[in-house]
Amino acid sequence: MKDLLVTGSNGLLGHAVRALCPTATFVTREDADLTNLEQTRRLFEHVRPKAVLHLAAAVGGVKQNAERGADLFAVNVQINTNVLATAQAAGVQRLIAVLSSCAFPLHPDRPSTEDDLHAGMPFHGNLGYGFAKRMLDVHVRLLREEYGCKFSTVAPVTMYGPHDAFDPESGHVVGALIRKCHEAKAAGTPFVVWGTGQAIRQFVYAPDVAQWLLRHLESDQGPGTVIVAPDDGVTIFDLAHLIARVMEYPGEPRFDHRKPEGTLVKRIRSRRSEAPGGGFTCTPLEQGLRETVSWFLECEAHRAVDRIGQAGSRKRDTCSSSA
C-alpha cells in the first residue's frame, strides 16, 4: 500500500505493520517532529498519503505515567492535534488512530466497553496519557461530523510481541517478565514477580492488531472506537507460569507480596461487530508468547556475539598499542 503513511513506526505495533505492509511510508521522530506543526505539514506535503495509521505517541511505563502525567498529556495532545488537523487539511481519505486501554474507566463488576470511554475518570496513575488518548478520540469524532472525514479509532488491550521493550523497569508486563525470567534462568536465581499474582490483565499479539488495522483501512467504520481484546484476560500468576514454561525455566515463579501490583482487575470488552470475534481470530496467548520468546532469544544471541566481537577488537587494539 504505497499511499499509506504510518506514524510512530519504531514502536512495537509499527514494526508489526511494517512486516505486513513494507511498501507503506514509515516515519519516526527523526523524519519529522510531530509536536511541530510546520514539520508535520511538510511531512504530509512530501508523502501525500491517501491513508494514515496514526501510531505515534509519547509513552512511558507505570512509573513515568504516574510521575510525568502533565508532560505526557501535553506532548500527546500536540502530536495528535497536529496529525489530525494536517490530515484533514491534506484530504486524507482514511485514517485510523490508535488509543489505549488506559483511557477507559475501570468497573469492578464488569468489563468496560466502547460506551464507557468518556464516562468516568481513568485510573489516576494513567490520567495524563489516558486523557490525551480520549481527546484524540473526540477530535476524530468531530472531524468526521464536521468535515465528513473517514477517520476512526481503535483501542487494543496491552500489546506484546517481537520488538517489545523487554525492560523490567519501564516495559509492559509481558516483555518485562520475559526479561526477568531470562535473567533468572541465566543466573540460576529465583524468577521473582511483583505482587500476589491475582491481578487480571488482557493481552493481544501486536501482529494481530496490525493485521486488523490494515484490513479495516478499507472499511468505512462509524465514529467512535473499537476495542481489540481477544479474551477476558489472564491472572499474572498464570501468565508468569506460562512464560516460565515457554522459556524452560527450571522452577516456578516466586511472587513478592510486598511489592505493588496495581489495579486488581483491568478488563475491557468490545460491543461492536468490527472487533475480533466477528470473522477475525487472534493468536492464542501461548502461541504468541512462544513466537515472542523465540524472537527475543535470537536477538539476545546476536547481542552476545556482538559483545564477544567488540571485546576481541578491544583486546587486539590494546595489544597493537602495547607492541
Known catalytic residues? 129
> In this structure, what is the dihedral angle of CA atoms 182, 185, 190, 192, given to the nearest 10 degrees?
10
Judge contact between 118 and 134, C-beta under 8 A. yes
CA distance 319 to 305: 21
> In this structure, what is the dihedral angle of CA atoms 59, 124, 156, 274, given to the nearest 10 degrees?
-140
Residue whose C-alpha cell reads 559483545 in the numeric block: 307
Phi-psi region of 279 (alpha: psi -120 to 50; beta: other; left: phi over 0): left
Phi-psi region of 168 (alpha: psi -120 to 50; beta: other; left: phi over 0): alpha
